[in-house]
Amino acid sequence: MEVQSVSTTPFDDQRPGTSGLRKKVRVLRQRHYLENFVQSVFDSIGDFRGRTLVVGGDGRYYNRQAIQTILKMAAANGFGKVLVGQGGILSTPAASCVIRKHQAHGGLILSASHNPGGPDEDFGIKYNIANGGPAPEAVTEKIFSRTRTIDRYLTVAADDVPLDVIGACALGEMQVEVIDPVADYAELMQSLFDFDAIRRLLADGFRMKFDAMHAVTGPYARVIIEGMLGAPQGTVMHGEPKEDFAGGHPDPNLTYAKDLVDIMFGEQAVDFGAASDGDGDRNMILGRNFFVTPSDSLAILAANAEQVPGYRDGIAGIARSMPTSAAADRVAAALGLDCYETPTGWKFFGNLMDAGKVTLCGEESFGTGSDHVREKDGLWAVLFWLNILAVRKQSVATIVREHWQRFGRNYYSRHDYEGVDADAAAAVLQRVRDQFGTLPGQQLAGRTVQHCDDFAYTDPVDGSVSENQGVRILFADGSRIIFRLSGTGTSGATIRLYLESYEPDVQKQGQDAQQALADMIAAADAISGLRELTGRDRPTVIT
């Protein structure tokens, strides 16, 4: 089969963001656009001749077409083999698992995660390295600089590869193996959690619902939760992956996972509810009439890890992204473990896990995971909770309240202002920055400002430095106000305002978070001029 070298010219703005390149489908479908990016990846990842590449996606619109393009380019560029999920499906954590298990050179994951899908919506592509995790900044910068000089890409003229039947076929010199997208992942989950105990819990009348949001986790949850763990059929809601997520927004939060939230806060509430996002790496955990914040969830998993077989021998350390609440820090301190604070995005956790410094990681944005893979993992978090529930035999709410009693409660909220004018968004952050010199020592929201900065991170393993990762106002009592611009949006800018205050007094732990944080919210607006500069009078989404 003849390799063709197709001449091309660079596109503007192919810089990978928080997790890869995310664009509107109509942008990605421009002639040569996807090819340019894929070839730029291949030109930036070292010698892969004869080695294996993993390819799969969340099943959204354009997934299959993109995979066919990638397979032909992989063959032309000299990969030995591509492992591709049946039907083009691989959740992000499953892709990470497959890369590691089969010692692949890396993988291409096709997803725009929690962003909507369809011809007028979003698509994305991300490269993961041999450890199964997102490419670190050194690699994404190399890819980006290659996109600016690229002048040719390599492909082969061939028929499309059938993706729906498990088995192998040849594409030129390269082998394409269509694999069961669930099998390797399910086996890994079984090795970590006490499936017998969870099976008994479910057989004893414990009721749960899992909302796959018409996205990638449907097949995984059906096999694992309804199949292996024996939950009744219908436990998995919206379990059929759809190219447009049935018109929904596959983001597992209180706003978008509405059907599940209605059940869990209504008269039909069951003992446990959970949801995952478009590509299966996020999770939301609910009890009967009860929402567990992702920051608390990380802290609770860490505090209960010894009850789970995969973590019985203890955890090495904990890492959280900077905007995530400090609830996990308190658990780490109590257990005598190190706790690391990284910039937003999973790529920063990989080095820490590879070096054996941390076992559990989490982000406030509904992401939790461990060193079993190098991505955050939605179903893993759900199974971790089920394992704890099976051992402790208490309700979700009781487990969380007992945690607050012991460690104190970190009141926490994130306010997102989506689709804001980019200049206005930059001006909001700049206005806060301009006060860095005068704020420390001042009283704000009844607290003393201690320190302000632009968060910067020096990787403790490789020494690389990442600057400008969020504007922070830190208070003497541990409270925080943080402003950050999103790196995953595809239209306009998104301002994220993160608010946190610490409450050790059990008597005061029962408030609504928005009420408990009301002074902080008002102070954040006063200092930044957010409403005035953006013309918005309220956030788009509050979590």
Active-site residue set: 113
The SS3 of residue 7 is: strand
11 near 35, Cβ under 8 Å? Answer: no
Tell me the closest approach of the beta carbon of residue 321 to ligand VG1, in angstroms: 6
Judged by beta carbon, residue 185 or residue 404, the one nearer ligand VG1 is: 185
Rg (CA), the chain: 23
In this chain, which stretch among 27-35, 342-350, 353-361, 440-448 interacts with ligand VG1, using CB under 6 A? 342-350
127 binds, among ligand VG1, Co ion, none (CB under 5 to 8 A by kind): none
Among 8, 18, 509, 540, binds ligand VG1 (CB under 6 A): 18
Q: Around 396, how many Cα atoms within 13 Å sit in the side-chain half-sphere?
A: 26
Q: Is 325 in the site for ligand VG1 (CB under 6 A)?
A: no
Between residues 276 and 342, which has the closer beta carbon with respect to Co ion?
Answer: 276
Q: Total number of residues binding ligand VG1 (CB under 6 A)?
A: 18
- By residue count, the chain amounts to 543
Q: Which range of residues in 221-229, 344-352, 400-408, 532-540 is near ligand VG1 by CB under 6 A?
A: 344-352
Query: 345 contacts which partner out of Co ion, ligand VG1, none, CB within 5 to 8 A by kind?
Result: ligand VG1
Binding to ligand VG1 by residue 469, rule CB under 6 A?
Answer: no
Q: Which residues on adjacent β-strands are paired with residue 341?
A: 320
Amino acid of residue 260 = L
Q: Is 490 a residue that touches ligand VG1 (CB under 6 A)?
A: no
Burial call 397-422: b when 16+ CB within 10 Å, e when fewer? eebbbebbeebbbbbbbbbbbbebee
The single residue among 81, 100, 249, 282 that binds ligand VG1, judged by CB under 6 A, is 282
Number of residues in contact with Co ion, rule: CB under 5 A?
5
Nearer to ligand VG1, 193 or 366 (CB): 366
Name the one range near Co ion by CB under 5 A: 108-116, 141-149, 163-171, 337-345: 108-116
Give the residues across from 274 on adjacent strands.
Answer: 210, 285
Give me the 86-125 binding string for ligand VG1, x by CB under 6 A, dash otherwise. ---------------------------xx-----------
Strands lying side by side in the sheet with 21-24: 21-24, 122-128, 106-110, 52-57, 81-89, 174-179, 167-171
The residue at minimum Cβ distance from Co ion is 113
Contact between 536 and 417 under an 8 Å Cβ cutoff? The reply is yes
CA 345 vs. chain centroid, Å, equals: 7
> How far apart are CB 246 and ligand VG1 at their closest, in Å?
19
Q: Give the span between the Cα atoms of 211 and 406, in whole angstroms.
A: 31
Question: Judging by DSSP bridges, how do beta strands 52-57 and 106-110 pair with one another?
Answer: parallel
Q: Which of 310, 345, 362, 539 binds ligand VG1 (CB under 6 A)?
A: 345
- Cα 277 to the center of its chain, rounded Å: 9
Nearest to 308 by CA among 371, 385, 373: 385
Burial of 138 (0-12, 13-18, 19+ CB in 10 A): exposed
Q: Which helix (H) or strand (E) element contains residue 144?
A: helix 137-147
The torsion of the CA quartet 497, 317, 97, 374, rounded to 10 degrees, works out to 40
Q: What angle do CA 469, 472, 476 make, to 5 degrees?
A: 145
Among 113, 155, 501, 534, binds Co ion (CB under 5 A): 113
The item of Co ion, ligand VG1, none sharing an interface with residue 503, based on CB under 5 to 8 Å by kind, is none
Nearest distance in Å: CB 29, ligand VG1? 21
487 binds, among ligand VG1, Co ion, none (CB under 5 to 8 A by kind): ligand VG1
Question: Does the protein bind Co ion through residue 279 (CB under 5 A)?
Answer: yes
CB of 242 to ligand VG1, least distance (A): 18
| Closer of 155 and 293 to ligand VG1 (Cβ) | 293
> Could you give the CA distance from residue 79 to residue 179 in angstroms, rounded to a whole number?
17
- From 178-186, 363-371, 428-436, 505-513, span contacting ligand VG1 (CB under 6 A): 363-371
CB 78 to ligand VG1: min, Å = 29
Does residue 19 interact with ligand VG1 by CB under 6 A?
yes
Footprint on this chain of Co ion (rule: CB under 5 A): 113, 277, 279, 281-282
> Which stretches of the chain bind ligand VG1, using CB under 6 A?
18-19, 113-114, 277, 281-282, 321, 344-346, 363, 365, 367, 486-488, 496
